[in-house]
Amino acid sequence: MSDIIQLLPDHVANQIAAGEVVQRPASVVKELLENAIDAKASSIKLIVKEAGKTLIQIIDDGVGMSVTDARMSFERHATSKIRKAEDLFDLTTKGFRGEALASIAAIAHVELKTARAEDEVGTEIKIEGGKVIAQEACVTPQGTSISVKNLFYNIPARRNFLKSNSVELRHIIDEFHRVAMVHPDIKFEMYHNNTEVFSLPGSNQRQRIVRIFGGKTNEKLVPIQEETDLVTITGFVGKPQFAKRTRGEQFFFVNDRFIKSAYLNHAVNSAFEGLLKEKTHPSYFIYLQVDPKSIDINIHPTKTEIKFDDEHSLYAMLRSTIKHSLGQFNVAPVLDFDRDASMDTPYEYKDKAIKNPVIEVDRSFNPFKEEGSFSSVQHTSSSEPVTKSSSFSKNTEKSSFPVFKKEKTADWENLYVGLENVEAAESSGEEEKVSSIQYESTAVTGSLFENDTVTSQDTNATYQLRRKYIVTTIKSGMIIIHQHRAHQRILYEELLKDITMANAVSQQLLFPLQLSFSIQEVETLQTIKEQLENTGFVFGEIKKEEVEIKGIPTAVTESEVSVLLEQLIGDLENEVPDSGFSQTDVLARSMAKSIAVRTGVNLEEEQLQHIVNSLFACTEPSVTPDNKATFITLTLDEIDKKF
């Protein structure tokens, strides 16, 4: 039998490596931006066309490369960052594997122009599918300009798996944010289809975050800072009242590298325990500086996962730091024995003279004096009719026992009226008088239920159980309906019809709403503006970071608009719709989920009946848009088996 194991050709190996490094255009943007930062650039420009499918270009003013370095940079495992294996545990740069440019060049048309400060002319290299087509001298300013065109041109299957331009652009912007936020001193610019998307001058961390996510973000941030031997923690967390239903504004950076960590995210959430509304998530921008030897970043191809030596200590420090900052800035309750803000002198009393308090006492007040608190029993007139109270007085007339008369008696004490006289009568041997005493008590019916007979009208009655379920009867037994899920299905089909037919009714607002969003969120709303108008929204002026709403659907209240749109934007980003139909479906699902009546809401009988009738008028009443059951049935046979 002949040998079957053989070495792969370089172009095949590069394409396989590209599958790990380059998953979409955003992966190329991340690698090239990190290379520009490692080159000590002070200004970086990103140019994108057709969401990176046609062109991705990075221009920086870094140190540049020599002729040999420019040619070697496209070889596999060629890097200037490490020399030996031990260097992997002492990394201070972004890239280090030496696979990025080789992988990108294997699946695209790449053009590189670079020059150093001491070079008279620069170097230009053109590569297609991993093969060098041309290498020659060129005139170019100091730094590096690299263009990646026709991504995945030689792997049609991978190109077909790319999402729509809007989705791919969102991923590119995400990567741009992650790099720009951690390097506020560098000037960043981004252009898409010859339109400026971001222009971020050099600034500090807070200003960079505000420029990216909008001017309204500044008032939402609470700074955090802590320095220990293990870690230095800096950054910002969002105030609890501005928590969102999506996780979009959550960023961890370790040694200037963006990471994802469910463990550290849990530490942040635990610090906000008791301060957040249900199903909301805090915003945070946290920068951690640790010893490079205490982490391992070489465990994931995209380097977004890091292994820490001492995760438990880091968890405790992060949690306590955030709690301290929330208390220090009066966001959360704090116990501080050194100072109590409530004891501070008010501003208007600062310069006023101190006066001794004056106490006024009612010296004629006698707590033991109460008129009519102790009196003898009054005889009732013979002309008065015999009532419960008069009968009671007649029986006590001969016994001459004193009775305490209470001016104010609670209703429940009426149950015990006359019990004192029973004891008096028994002690004096006058048992025959007891029979004449009348007691006040609640009436006892002979039936456990008020109506123990079921009339013909009760057979179709509808009830609400625990403000969560709707119970109604059918011929074969009974149906238990989940009120939130059922209403969700009803609204979903109504919204789909409104969007398709464009016949929704809108209620005009007396005072238009001014809602603030980030630049990226406003762009997302622009893509679905027409569908939202078909559901009943009326938009006014839409600015770069602000949206004016003049009308809303009849099923939506004014206070729900902001939350609904935030939830909608988050769902659209997470669902990554590719076509107009799926985008409409996501829109209808998200709005139905937000508007539907919640668990715990008390419904009138007419509302219950309306939900039941509307549910079974739907085309698919048995499940929600998310394929969850809306109701269950219990037949008489199943009920009989329970007994």
H/E element, 165 = helix 165-182
Q: 205-328 in CATH: which number? A: 3.30.230.10
Measured distance CA(471)–CA(482) in Å, rounded: 9
Q: For residue 125, what pLDDT is reported? A: 93
- Comparing 464 with 12, which gets the higher pLDDT? 464
317 contact partners, CB below 8 Å, separation of at least 6: 226, 228, 230, 231, 233
- Comparing 344 with 509, which gets the higher pLDDT? 509
Does residue 98 have a pLDDT over 80?
no
Residue type, 59: I
Which band of pLDDT confidence, cut at 50, 70 and 90, is reported for residue 126? Answer: very high
CA distances from 223 to 331, 532, 555 (A): 12, 37, 39
Measured distance CA(16)–CA(13) in Å, rounded: 5
Six-digit token string for 360: 């006024």
Q: For residue 274, what pLDDT is reported? A: 84
Does residue 380 have a pLDDT over 50?
no
* Poorest-pLDDT segment among 283-292, 355-364, 399-408: 399-408
What DSSP line would sit under 77-143, residue for residue?
T--SS-SSGGGGGS--SS--SS-HHHHHHHTSEEEEEEE-TT-SSEEEEEEETTEEEEEEEE---SE
| For residues 467-494, average pLDDT | 89
Phi, psi (degrees; rounded to nearest 5) at 131:
-105, 135
| For residues 71-87, average pLDDT | 69
| For residues 560-586, average pLDDT | 71
Confirm if 255 and 303 have CB atoms less than 8 A apart.
Answer: no
* H helices present in 462-579, as ranges: 483-501, 519-527, 529-535, 561-575
Does residue 396 have a pLDDT over 50?
no
Does residue 189 have a pLDDT over 90?
yes
Confirm if 531 and 498 have CB atoms less than 8 A apart.
Answer: no
Which CATH class name applies to 463-633?
A: alpha beta
Confirm if 28 and 56 have CB atoms less than 8 A apart.
Answer: yes
* Poorest-pLDDT segment among 169-183, 349-363, 373-387, 604-618: 373-387
Which band of pLDDT confidence, cut at 50, 70 and 90, is reported for residue 253? Answer: very high
* Poorest-pLDDT segment among 118-122, 373-377, 534-538: 373-377
Six-digit token string for 3: 């040998």
| For residues 323-336, average pLDDT | 72
| For residues 546-566, average pLDDT | 85
Q: What whole-number percentage of the chain has pLDDT above 70?
A: 75
Q: For residue 111, what pLDDT is reported? A: 94
Measured distance CA(489)–CA(625) in Å, rounded: 6
Q: For residue 455, what pLDDT is reported? A: 39
What residue spans define the domains of the chain?
Answer: 10-200, 205-328, 374-434, 463-633
| Ramachandran region, residue 135 (left: φ > 0; alpha: ψ -120 to 50; beta: rest) | beta
| For residues 414-423, average pLDDT | 57
CATH topology of domain 10-200: Heat Shock Protein 90 (3.30.565)
